[in-house]
Amino acid sequence: MIPPLTPFWQRWLEKRIPPASRVTLDHRRIFILPTRTGMTFAAVMVLMLLVAINYQNSLAYGLTFMLMSVGVLTILHTYRNISGLILSAGVARSVFVGEPVQLRLRLESSGPSHHALGLGWEAVNVQPGDVTPRGLTEIELTLPAERRGWLRAPRLRVESVFPLGIFRAWSWLDLEQTALIYPRPLFGTMPLLKGVQPHAEDSGQVTQGTGVDDYHGLRGYQPGDNRGRLHWKAYSRGQGLLVKDFVDLSGHDLCLDFMALGGDIEERLSRLCYWVLELSQRRQPFALSLPGFVSAVGSGDAHRETCLRALALYGDRP
Partner 1 sequence: MKARTTKPAVTKLQAELSQPVPRDSLTWLLLAQALVVLPFTLHVPVSIMALWLGCTVWRVQVFRMRARLPGTWVKSGLLVGTAGGVYLARGSLVGLDAGAALLVAAFVLKMLEVSTRRDARVLIFLGFFCVVVGYLFEDTLLWALFSLLPIGALLAALIGLQQSALASRPVATLKLAFKLMAQAVPLMLLLFVFFPRLDPLWSLPQPSNKGLTGLSDNMAPGDMAELSRSPALVFRASFEGAVPARNQLYWRGLTLEQFDGRRWSQSSRAQSVQVPQWQKRGEPLTYSIVMEASGRPWLPSLDVGETSLPEVRQMSDFRLQRRRPVEQSLLYGVTSWPQSVRDAQPTEQIQRQDMQLPAKGNEQARQWADDLRRRYARPDALVEAMLGYFTQQPFHYTLKPTPSGNDSIDDFLFVSRRGFCAHYAGAMTFVLRAAGIPARVVAGYQGGEISSDGQYLTVRQFDAHAWVEYWQPGVGWRSVDPTAAVAPQRIEQGLEQALAADEDFLQDAPFSALRYRHVPWINAMRLSWDDLNYGWQRWVLGYQGQQQLQVLSRWFSGFEAPVFVAGIIVSLGLVALWLFKPWRRESDPQLRLFNAFERLLARHGLRRMPGEGAVAFGRRAALFFPRQAGAIEAFVEEFQAQRYAGRSGSSSQLRGRLSALRRQMPWRLSAARGSHS
Selected binder of partner 1 within 20, 24, 80, 253 (CB under 8 A): 80
Cα 74 to Cα 176: distance, rounded to the nearest angstrom: 32
- Contacting partner 1 (CB under 8 A), which of 99, 130, 140, 225? 130
Q: Binding to partner 1 by residue 54, rule CB under 8 A?
A: yes
Q: Which stretch binds partner 1 (CB under 8 A): 53-61, 205-213, 269-277, 300-308?
A: 53-61
Provide the minimum distance between the beta carbon of 6 and partner 1 in the complex, in angstroms, as a whole number.
5
User: What is the smallest separation between the CB atom of 116 and partner 1, expressed in angstroms?
Assistant: 4
Of 18, 98, 128, 209, the one binding partner 1 (CB under 8 A) is 128
- Give the C-alpha separation, 256 to 191, whole Å: 6
Helix 36-55 / helix 58-82 crossing angle, nearest 10 deg: 160
Q: How far apart are CA 134 and CA 136, in angstroms?
A: 7
Chain centroid, CA 97 distance in Å:
11
- Residue from 60, 186, 241, 277 binding partner 1 (CB under 8 A): 60
For the CB of residue 209, give the shortest distance to partner 1 in the complex, in Å.
Answer: 42
The verdict on 40 binding partner 1 (CB under 8 A) reads yes
Least distance from partner 1 to the Cβ atom of residue 120, Å? 10
37 lines the binding site for partner 1 (CB under 8 A): yes
Beta bridge partners of 296: none
Identity of the amino acid at 130? D
Residues 6+ apart with CB under 8 A from 9: 1
Residue from 8, 16, 69, 217 that binds partner 1 (CB under 8 A)?
69
CB closer to partner 1 out of 119 and 260:
119
Residues 172-211, interacting with partner 1 (CB under 8 A): 172, 174
Q: How far is the CB of 266 from partner 1 (least distance, A)?
A: 19
294's CB contacts (< 8 A; 6+ apart) are 287, 288
- Grouping H, G, I as helix, E, B as strand and the rest as coil, residue 76 is helix
155 sits near partner 1 (criterion: CB under 8 A):
yes
Please check whether residue 22 is in contact with residue 87, taking contact to mean a CB–CB distance below 8 angstroms: yes
**To which H or E segment does residue 269 belong?**
helix 265-281
Over 209-244, what HEC string results? CCCCCCEEEEEECCCCCCHHHECHHHHHCCCCCEEE
76 is an interface residue for partner 1 by CB under 8 A: yes
Residue ranges that bind partner 1, judged by CB under 8 A: 1, 3, 6, 10, 13, 36-37, 40-41, 44, 47-48, 50-70, 72-74, 76-77, 80, 111, 113, 115-116, 118, 121-125, 128, 130, 151-155, 161-165, 172, 174
